[in-house]
Amino acid sequence: MGEVVGAGLLAHVPTIVLPEAVRRELNNGADTTLVSGLHQLRREVFDTVEHDTVVVLDSHWATTVEYVVTAQDRRSGLFTSEELPRGMQRRPYDFPGDPELAHLIASKAADHSTWITAIDDHSLPIFYATTNLWEFLGAGLDKRWISIGVCQTADGEDSVRLGRALGEAIAESDRKVMLIASGALSHTFWPLRQLRDHEAAGHEHIYSNAALQADLERIEWFKAGDHKRVLDTMPEFLRYRPEAKFMHYLMMIGAIGEEACTAPARQYGEYENSIGTGQVHLWFDRPEGGFPPANQTPTDPDYVRQTGGAGADVPAAG
């Protein structure tokens, strides 16, 4: 029987793969703590906790008519970002996939009134919400990594249903799985003509004070293990445009028990700005006895969790 052995809401922001000298230039001489935070997370979790597969819930990969899970036997190549090619250019990646788990996830779609397809095409594009975190947390370990995209026609309830299918599939497998919800908190960029005045990490550069306070409030709820409160206040949080309507988190929490999950977060590094957006690394350790099981009761297709309307507002960067 498989299980989730750890889960995280992690920042993949492009700054983390820039040379240190460039990072310091952007941040008034100081390095971003998002880099040291990932190094610490690697040492304390990914190098020490036994796991077979990492599933990345990728907030940059927006599908349209279904959720898609990668099912290649291996993914390798050189990644250049179409969005930020000056900062992310020809970066190598190479890791095994997990076709068996991918197809098992896809097989659970109908049970949860959703649509999931496993795709094994080696020409399928990859996104830096996956590769940037693999560079820090997966390189050299040769663990299986797969990704699931957000769906731009989905809403919050659809995202939770995907998570339920994911959690059920993991439980039926023999895999020990790390889940990564790869994406930001509030996610509004400064306009281009103002952007370069707001590249440093300080809180004063978050796009608005209201967005800053909403992020900090939720970080405290995460640290208290109050996932129910985060879910209950999603309509309020959507006013601050969390990345991909926070679907990366909703998919993750759907897999580990939704409101029943009380796992507290450990923070790695500081909460930081990235050209207006809120970035943080939060890790939820496996509780004693494991995470609560995903809701395996067939979902009423007419029920919609109050987490926002259909149509994902999926910003391109972050």
Contacts with 109 (C-beta within 8 Å, 6 or more apart), sequence order? 67, 115, 116, 165
pLDDT band of residue 306 (cuts 50, 70, 90) is low
Q: What is the per-residue pLDDT across 149-192, written as a single tens digit (0 to 9) for each?
A: 999 999 999 999 999 999 999 999 999 999 999 999 999 999 99
Q: What is the per-residue pLDDT across 116-152, written as a single tens digit (0 to 9) for each?
A: 999 999 999 999 999 999 999 999 999 999 999 999 9
Inter-residue contact 312 to 57 (CB < 8 Å): no
Contacts with 289 (C-beta within 8 Å, 6 or more apart), sequence order? none
Q: Which DSSP symbol is given to 188?
A: -
Structure tokens at 172: 């039926």
Q: Is residue 140 classed exposed, middle or buried when 0-12, 13-18 and 19+ CB atoms within 10 A define those classes?
A: exposed
pLDDT at 303: 45
Shortest CA distance to 177 belongs to which of 146, 136, 218?
A: 146
pLDDT at 295: 85
Contacts with 192 (C-beta within 8 Å, 6 or more apart), sequence order? none
Structure tokens at 284: 């939820």
pLDDT band of residue 237 (cuts 50, 70, 90) is very high
What's at 310, amino acid-wise? A
pLDDT at 108: 98
CA distance 93 to 115: 29
Shortest CA distance to 59 belongs to which of 136, 135, 154?
A: 154
Q: What is the per-residue pLDDT across 272-303, written as a single tens digit (0 to 9) for each?
A: 999 999 999 999 999 999 999 998 665 554 44
Q: Is the dihedral of CA 134, 187, 291, 303 positive or negative?
A: negative
Q: What is the per-residue pLDDT across 42-96, written as a single tens digit (0 to 9) for each?
A: 999 999 999 999 999 999 999 999 999 999 999 999 999 999 999 999 999 999 9
**Residue 177: helix, strand or coil by DSSP?**
strand
CA distance 190 to 277: 9
User: Is the domain defined by 3-285 classed in CATH 3.90.1140.10?
Assistant: no
pLDDT at 309: 43
pLDDT band of residue 268 (cuts 50, 70, 90) is very high
Inter-residue contact 291 to 228 (CB < 8 Å): no
